C-alpha cells in the first residue's frame, strides 16, 4: 500500500492511499479520515459510496463530513467508484465503465475481468483497512450518493450483520426499471433477471428490508428524478413498514450542495447506531 497524501483535518488525519487490488486486478485508490481517537485505538467506520463519474475525491473534498465525524470519533472511508487504468474496460457513455461500477460483480465480458466492486467494497478493502489502520470492523455503517446510494442500500440489505445503519442521498432507487440501471445491469450481469433484482433497492426493501434504521434524503428539484425513481422506494418502505425516515427536501437538486447541507444529519444518524 502506498500513501499518496496525509493531511491534518479536524484534529485527525485525512489520508489518500493506493494499493494493488487482487479483486479488481488493478491499482485502486481510496480516502480515509481517522479522528484523533484513532491514536488510542480502533474507531467505528462509516462508508461513503459515491456516484457516477466520481472518484474517491468528490465526497472527500465536497461533502464536508469530516468535521461531523470528528465530533463523534468515527472514521470515514471514501472508496473509488470503479476499477481504473489503461487496461481496464471503458465506455463512451458516462453511465458505463470507469467511474460507473454500480457496486456489482460483473459476470459479462469485457467487464468481468475488473469490475468486481461488490467484493472490493464488502471484502477486500475492509480487510485492508483492518490490517493497516485503527478501525473497528465490528462497528460499520454505510451511506452514499446517487449510484453510491444504490450501492449502500443494496449492500446493507444483503449484509445486515455487517452494517449498523444505512442511509442514502438521492439514491438510484429502482434500477431494474430505470435508464440508470437497466442497461448497466444487463451489460455487467447479462440477461439474468434474478441477478438484476439483487441490485434493486426498492425490490430488496419489499422482499427483505433492513433490520436497522434507514435514512433517505431526496431533493424535490433533482434534475434526475425520473431516473432515480424515489417514489418506488418510498412505496416499498411504506408497504413493508420498514423502519425508515424518508425526506423530500424542497428546492434541492442532485449536487454536492444538497449532500453537504444534510451530511451532518446523516453522520449524526450513523453515530447513534455505531455507538449504541
Q: Could you write out the DSSP letters of every residue in 37-91?
A: GGGTS-EEEEEEE--TT--THHHHHHS--HHHHHHHT-EEEEE-SS--STTS---
* SS3 assignment, position 145: strand
pLDDT in tens, 227-245: 999 999 999 999 999 999 9
Cα 65 → chain centroid = 14
pLDDT in tens, 141-153: 999 999 999 999 9
Question: What is the average pLDDT across 175-189?
Answer: 97
Domains in the chain, CATH or no CATH each:
2-274 (3.40.50.1820)
What pLDDT, on the 0 to 100 scale, is given for residue 83? Answer: 98
Question: What is the average pLDDT across 20-46?
Answer: 98
What pLDDT, on the 0 to 100 scale, is given for residue 28? Answer: 98
What pLDDT, on the 0 to 100 scale, is given for residue 149? Answer: 98
What pLDDT, on the 0 to 100 scale, is given for residue 36? Answer: 98
Active site residues: 146, 222, 254
Q: pTM score, two decimals?
A: 0.98
What is the DSSP-derived secondary structure letter of residue 113? G
What pLDDT, on the 0 to 100 scale, is given for residue 261? Answer: 98
Instruction: Provide the CB-side half-sphere exposure for 110 (13 A, CA).
Output: 9
What pLDDT, on the 0 to 100 scale, is given for residue 167? Answer: 99
List the grid coordinates of 240. Answer: 413493508
Average of per-residue pLDDT values in the chain: 98
Task: In whole angstroms, give the CA distance from residue 242 to residue 44.
Answer: 25
- Give the E-state strand segments of the chain in sequence order: 2-9, 12-21, 26-34, 43-49, 75-79, 135-144, 163-169, 214-219, 245-249
The percent of residues above 70 in pLDDT, for the chain, comes to 100
**Cis ω before 110 (30° cut-off from 0):** yes
Question: What is the average pLDDT across 98-122?
Answer: 98
- Strand-by-strand arrangement of the 214-219 sheet: 2-9, 12-21, 26-34, 75-79, 43-49, 135-144, 163-169, 214-219, 245-249
Give me the residues paired with residue 48 across strands: 143
Q: Which of 162, 253, 251, 256 is nearest to 211 (CA)?
A: 162
What pLDDT, on the 0 to 100 scale, is given for residue 48? Answer: 99
Residue 128: Cβ-neighbour burial (10 angstroms; 0-12, 13-18, 19+): middle
Amino acid at each position: 500500500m502506498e500513501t499518496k497524501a496525509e493531511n491534518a483535518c479536524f484534529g485527525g488525519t485525512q489520508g489518500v492511499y493506493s494499493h494493488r487490488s487482487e479483486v479488481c486486478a488493478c491499482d485502486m485508490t481510496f480516502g480515509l479520515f481517522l479522528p484523533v481517537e484513532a491514536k488510542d485505538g480502533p474507531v467505528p467506520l462509516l462508508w461513503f459510496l459515491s456516484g457516477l463519474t466520481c472518484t474517491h475525491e468528490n465526497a472527500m473534498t465536497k461533502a464536508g463530513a469530516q468535521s461531523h465525524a470528528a465530533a463523534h470519533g468515527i472514521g470515514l472511508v471514501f472508496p473509488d467508484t470503479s476499477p481504473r487504468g489503461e487496461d481496464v474496460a471503458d465506455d463512451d457513455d458516462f453511465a458505463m465503465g470507469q467511474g460507473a461500477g454500480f457496486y456489482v460483480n460483473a459476470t459479462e465480458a469485457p467487464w468481468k475481468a475488473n469490475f468486481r466492486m461488490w467484493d472490493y467494497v464488502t471484502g477486500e478493502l475492509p480487510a485492508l483497512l483492518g490490517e493497516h489502520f485503527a478501525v473497528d470492523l465490528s462497528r460499520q455503517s454505510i451511506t452514499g450518493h446517487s449510484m453510491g446510494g444504490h450501492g449502500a442500500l443494496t449492500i446493507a440489505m444483503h449484509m445486515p450483520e455487517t452494517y449498523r445503519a444505512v442511509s442514502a442521498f438521492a439514491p438510484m432507487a429502482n434500477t431494474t426499471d430505470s435508464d440508470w440501471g437497466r442497461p448497466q445491469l444487463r451489460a455487467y450481469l447479462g440477461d439474468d433477471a434474478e441477478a438484476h433484482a439483487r441490485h434493486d433497492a426498492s425490490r430488496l426493501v419489499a422482499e427483505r428490508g433492513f433490520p436497522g434504521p434507514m435514512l433517505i434524503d431526496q431533493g424535490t428539484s433533482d434534475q434526475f428524478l425520473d431516473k432515480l425513481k424515489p417514489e418506488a422506494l418510498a412505496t416499498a418502505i411504506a408497504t413493508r413498514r420498514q423502519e425508515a425516515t424518508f425526506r423530500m427536501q424542497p428546492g434541492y437538486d442532485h449536487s454536492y450542495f444538497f449532500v453537504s447541507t444534510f451530511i451532518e444529519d446523516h453522520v449524526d444518524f450513523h453515530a447513534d447506531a455505531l455507538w449504541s
